[in-house]
Every structure is written in structure tokens, then in C-alpha cells.
Amino acid sequence: MLFKRFYDDNLAQASYMLVCEKTREAIVIDPTLDVSQYTRAAGAERARIAHVTETHIHADFISGSRALAEATGATVHLSAEGGTEWGYADAAMKTASPLGEGSEILTGKIRLTVAHTPGHTPEHLTFLVSDLQRGEEPVGALTGDFVFVGEVGRPDLLERAAGAKGSMAGSAADLYRSLRKFSVQPDHLQIWPGHGAGSACGKSLGSMPQSTLGYEKLFNWAFADMTEKEFVAKVLKDQPVPPRYFAAMKRVNRAAELPAPSKSSQQLGLPELESALKAETPVIDTRAAAKFAAEHVPGTLNIPLGKSFLNWTGALVPENRDFYLLTEAESDDAVEATLSDLAKIGLTRVAGFFRADVLLDWKSRHGQPEHVVQVSPGELQDVLDKKKVQIVDVRAPDEWNRGHLPGAIHIPLAALPERVGELDTSVPIVLHCQGGGRSSIAASYLQAMGVDDVSNLAGGYERWAAEGHEVKK
């Protein structure tokens, strides 16, 4: 058996291709929309992609299962678990081979045996992989969003992203039972998870690409000896706020729809930038936070390109509106790469892009650009001693609970669009996160909404604590 892992850093997501060395047939599990990476890899191994499947209805990216099947003629296999309300839509299942507890997919001499492992989602499946040329017993498990390295999938998304009110506790209990059932597998079983560190599908995912069940039993908190009640309380505590695009991804992937094509994006100039801002159409400045803080066009939103770009763009930019990009990319290919990444989370309405030098044109017509004030911990302490300031902590709940600034209010960055009305804009606002990255985005978001007196705590909570200033727990 040939085993290949594909990892998308921008999604912190892993997909897999297994190839039978005897028949040269392949199966792909949890593909993204970048289907060419799988067809190229199959071609390099002289293999034919015969099967495509996925562990569950994804919330954090658009599934590439349908697109890959159309490109290769492969059979699509989807979970038939989860019930009529939360399983795949009927239209999706009409053209798919249904899977349930005990089902098998044979790819030459490779066998995938299905285990229904609800909890993260009701329809979630885990695939036990056997290399039949070596033996009947499974060598590993493709666990999707069920078991991660050091963590398990969050069971609150059905309620918090898909709107199933009151489902969190029940899903957490399902997850507890799934883990106990799965734990009887042999300790040598390799664990191949669907996500790594940085994913919003769990709290504290490890960075290692794989593990073993025996190792997870020793060091993954979820396998510790505890009651169902204790597990439910612990797994639901301090889960991060899901980005709002998760709800849209659930709808699209439940129907197994292909996404709408991206708009034909073209380079635009100052007149179009002025028109976009006048119409309050989002303009995302993708430059580094330090460059944006130094000078930027008023009304633009800063989300720097990098590993978190898709997560925060999906959290802050509505999927049902046109928007623009402002980029330092020197080539059209680099721009197209960004558009392709955005399409992975359903953001295809990029109406055009501006090169970064449009800032020079803007300054020649309008004068001084806007900037984000950076305050040091010492400067903030001096200000707090003299006047009223609203400190806003945009970190995740678990970070907040480990310690926070006195008098701060807690609004995680992903929740800012829904909770911005809670802010007192009549006083200066100082934003902070752990190190300064997320709060820089938050500061730009407030400025783009017209909040004037906004600043960013340089170095964030880490620097504040390191310099010995008071913290609360």
C-alpha cells in the first residue's frame, strides 16, 4: 500500500490518498477543491483514482469530493448516518454509494472498514485501513475530526454553527461513547487525523502529523478515566468561537454542491477604490500588520496573508457580498493563488484587486493616510491611571481564563462582527490578544467601521505579563 498525506497549511487540514500497489487503484479521503494535487500524485504513481470519500460534512472548507469524482470518474462514498435532519441531503446521496457502521470500501488490496463515530457531527465516520497484502488487521485509522493528536473534535458546532439548538450536550455524550467504543482497538493502530494545530475544529490540536492509539490513550485527555458527565463538561469548556463561514460550509457540503465560480477578478485603480469605500464594500488589505499600522487607506480591513488568512477572512467577511483585495503580490499568478484559496471556503465574490501602490495614488489625492496607534504596556498603564479606557481582549476563551488584564472585556475576534455593539466608542479603545496579531486585525475592523480612537497593545498579553503588570484570573 502506498500512503500519501496532503496538508493545506492555510486550512490546517489533511487529506489522504491510498494506492494499491498491485492494481494501481487509489482512494482519496477528505479532498479539498484543489483536485489537481490528487490527480498529479496519482499520475506520478501510475494509479487511477477509483474511489473518493469523506469522514463527515465539513464545516471549515468546501469538500472536493464531487469535483474530484467528476474529474476522474471515481465512485463517491458518503455517510448514510446522521438521520434526515443532519445527514447528507437526498440529492447528494442519489449519486453516492452509502456508508454506515460495518460498511467496506475495497480499493484493490486495500480495505476501508467503516466505524460510525458520532460526536463531532452525527454522521461522522472513521475508516479503519487494512493492507490485505500484509494481513487482515487494520494498520491505521483515518479519524477525520473524531480523534486528533492530543485532542478530539469539538461537539458544539452543530449548535453553534448549524443552528441545532440544545444539541451540544447530546453531541458531547455521543463523542464520549464513540471514544470508549474506539478505544478497544489495538494500541499499535496508527491515527491519521483530518486536522493539525491551528484548526478551529478543536481546542488544542497537536502539530504532529500522526500518532498511535496507544500513545493517545496515554497522553490525550479525552481517553482518561472519567464519567460521561465529567467528559461533557470538559469538552464543552472554552471551545473557540467558530468563524461565521462555518454555517455556509455546512449547507454547501451537506448538499454536496460544487461552489460558484470565482468572479473574473481584475486589477483596479484609485477611482474604483474610492467607489468601493464609498459604497462600504469590504476592501481587505493583505499586507503585513506592521505595514498596515504605519499607513493605510481609511476604511480598509487588514487581514495579512498567512496561515490564518482564510480563517479570519471567513470570520469577518460575509460570503454573500462582493469584496476587494489590496495586495503586494507582484504577479498575477500570486493573485490567482489567493483567489483559489478563498474559493476553498466559499468566498468567490472578489470583484477586483488593487496593487499596494494604490496607496501612493490615494495619498497624492487625499493627503495623510490613516494609521493604527501602538501602545506599550507601560504607556497603557500610565493612561489607565489617568482616564477611562476600554480594554478589549480578542483572544480565545481558554486564553482569557488563564489570565487577562484587569477591567478588560472579552470579545473573541471571530465574535466581533456580532458583538461590536457592546463596545463603548465614547472612550478610547485598546485592543489586545496574546502577541498582537489578532488584535491588529480587530483594530483595523473597528477603524473600517468608523471607530476613531482605537489602538493596539504592542506585544499583547505576553508582553504585559512579562513586564510584571497586574493580571486577573
Q: How confident is the model at residue 86 (pLDDT cuts 50, 70, 90)?
A: confident
**SS3 readout for the chain:** CEEEEEEECCCCEEEEEEECCCCCEEEEECCCCCCHHHHHHHHHCCCEEEEEECCCCCCCCCCCHHHHHHHHCCEEEEECCCHHHHCCCHHHHHCCEEECCCCEEEECCEEEEEEECCCCCCCCEEEEEEECCCCCCCCEEEEECCECCCCECCCCHHHHCCCCCCCHHHHHHHHHHHHHHHCCCCCCCEEEECECCCCCCCCCCCCCCCEEHHHHHHHCHHHCCCCHHHHHHHHHCCCCCCCCHHHHHHHHHHCCCCCCCCCCCCECCHHHHHHHHHCCCCEEECCCHHHHHHCECCCCEECCCCCCHHHHHHHHCCCCCCEEEEECCCCHHHHHHHHHHHHCCCCCCEEEEEECCHHHHHHHHHCCCECCEEECHHHHHHHHCCCCCEEEECCCHHHHHHCECCCCEECCHHHHHHHHHHCCCCCCEEEECCCCHHHHHHHHHHHHCCCCCEEEECCHHHHHHHCCCCCEC
Which has the minimum average pLDDT: 165-179, 193-207, 253-267, 450-464? 253-267
Residue 264 — very low, low, confident or very high, per pLDDT cuts 50/70/90?
A: low
Share of the chain above pLDDT 90, in %: 87
Higher pLDDT, 204 or 397: 397
pLDDT band at 305 (very low <50, low <70, confident <90, very high): very high
Q: Please, which pLDDT band fits residue 15 given cuts at 50, 70 and 90? A: very high
Cell triple for residue 135? 494481513
Average predicted confidence (pLDDT) for the chain = 95
Single out the residue of 12, 240, 303 nearest to residue 145, CA to CA. Answer: 12
- The band of 160, judged by pLDDT with boundaries at 50, 70 and 90, is confident
425 pLDDT band (50/70/90 cuts)?
A: very high
Q: What is the pLDDT of residues 104-131, one digit of tens each?
A: 999 999 999 999 999 999 999 999 999 9
Supply the pLDDT for residue 436: 95
Torsion angle (degrees, nearest 10) of CA 59, 61, 62, 63: -90
CA dihedral (471, 428, 420, 282) positive or negative:
negative
For residues 88 and 66, the answer to whether their CB atoms sit within 8 Å is no
Domains of the chain (ranges plus CATH)?
A: 2-254 (3.60.15.10), 270-366 (3.40.250.10), 373-466 (3.40.250.10)
Nearest one of 327, 325, 323 to 356, comparing CA atoms = 327
What digits encode the pLDDT tens for the residues 208-246? Answer: 999 999 999 999 999 999 999 999 999 999 999 999 899
Over residues 271-301, the pLDDT tens digits come to 999 999 999 999 999 999 999 999 999 999 9
Query: How far is the C-alpha of 315 from the C-alpha of 245, rounded, in Å?
Result: 6
Buried b (16+ CB within 10 A) or exposed e, 60-74: bbbbbbbbbbeebeb
- Residue matched to cell numbers 487525523: 193
Q: Indicate the burial class of 234 (C-beta count within 10 angstroms; 0-12, 13-18, 19 or more).
A: middle
Nearest to 179, CA basis, from 203, 218, 147: 147
Q: Cβ(198)–Cβ(205) under 8 Å? A: yes
User: Left if phi > 0, otherwise alpha if psi is -120 to 50, otherwise beta: which for 346?
Assistant: left
pTM: 0.93
Active-site amino acid positions: 433
